[in-house]
């Protein structure tokens, strides 16, 4: 919701920020992963990284688009938008069941 209201968000540091500053944790920005194997990852741009842990930050799409990729267009369209407020002032499709036709 904060992103929708202000175009930004917040970050709760639970220790990783310091590790990044100290060089103990590295971050890599990439346009995508080509393959994973037992020792690491090959990126689409040809770079190969030997890593212990991979964390994919993939939250740049709306909840509706996430639903679409997981459950298909029909269900995503029936669920509709998530977050924001509906005509009655309630948050859309949050903290309650989605519309009855979705559950059928």
Q: Where are the domains of the chain?
A: 59-104
The DSSP H or E segment spanning 103 is helix 100-103
The DSSP H or E segment spanning 41 is strand 40-43
* Per-residue confidence (pLDDT) for residue 21, from 0 to 100: 94
Tokens of 16: 């990783």
Residue 48 binned pLDDT confidence (cut-offs 50, 70, 90) = very high
* Per-residue confidence (pLDDT) for residue 13, from 0 to 100: 84
pLDDT, mean of residues 27-36: 86
Global model pTM greater than 0.85: no
Look at 45 and 92; give whichever has higher pLDDT: 45
d(CA 45, CA 54): 17
């Amino acid at each position: 919701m904060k992103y929708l209201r202000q175009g930004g968000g917040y970050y709760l540091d639970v220790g990783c920020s310091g590790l990044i500053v100290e060089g103990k944790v590295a971050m890599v920005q990439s346009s995508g992963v080509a393959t994973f194997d037992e020792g690491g990852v090959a990126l689409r741009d040809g770079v190969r990284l030997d890593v212990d842990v991979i964390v994919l930050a993939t939250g740049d799409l709306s909840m509706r688009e996430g639903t679409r990729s997981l459950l298909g267009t029909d269900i995503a369209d029936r669920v509709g938008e998530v977050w924001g407020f509906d005509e009655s002032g309630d948050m859309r499709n949050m903290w309650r069941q989605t519309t009855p036709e979705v559950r059928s």
